[in-house]
């Protein structure tokens, strides 16, 4: 099981990141991936990040402050599998 958390309060980059992750997961047709949107500041702060969006896969911060590319998202998922 792969757990992907998208950390962000709802900024435009956060929305793009969420959309991109959902699209990639859908295209990969993987039923073993869960996507969780985290928008509560208290929860985001637990990851010690200073800017959003952030992508956390299986508890490991993989991307901070930018929208990861499709290729990067696929790589992160494959690394976690």
**Model confidence pLDDT, tens digit, residues 10-51:** 899 999 999 999 999 999 999 999 999 999 999 999 999 999
Token look-up 């099981």 returns 1
Coil vs helix vs strand at 3: strand
CATH value of 2-80 in 1.10.1740.10, 3.10.20.70, 3.30.70.20, 3.40.30.10: 3.40.30.10
Give me the pLDDT at residue 37, please: 98
Give the whole-angstrom CA distance, residue 7 versus residue 54. Answer: 5
Give me the pLDDT at residue 56, please: 98
Mean pLDDT computed over 54-78: 98
Give me the pLDDT at residue 38, please: 98
Confidence tier at 74 by pLDDT (50, 70, 90): very high
Give the whole-angstrom CA distance, residue 55 versus residue 76. Answer: 9
Give the whole-angstrom CA distance, residue 54 versus residue 74. Answer: 15
């Amino acid at each position: 099981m792969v757990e992907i958390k998208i950390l962000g309060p709802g900024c435009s980059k956060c929305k793009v990141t969420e959309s991109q992750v959902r699209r990639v997961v859908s295209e990969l047709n993987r039923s073993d991936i869960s996507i969780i949107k985290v928008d509560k500041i208290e929860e985001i702060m637990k990851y010690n990040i200073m800017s959003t969006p952030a992508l956390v896969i299986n508890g490991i911060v993989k991307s901070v402050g930018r929208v990861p590319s499709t290729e990067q998202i696929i790589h992160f998922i494959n690394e976690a599998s």
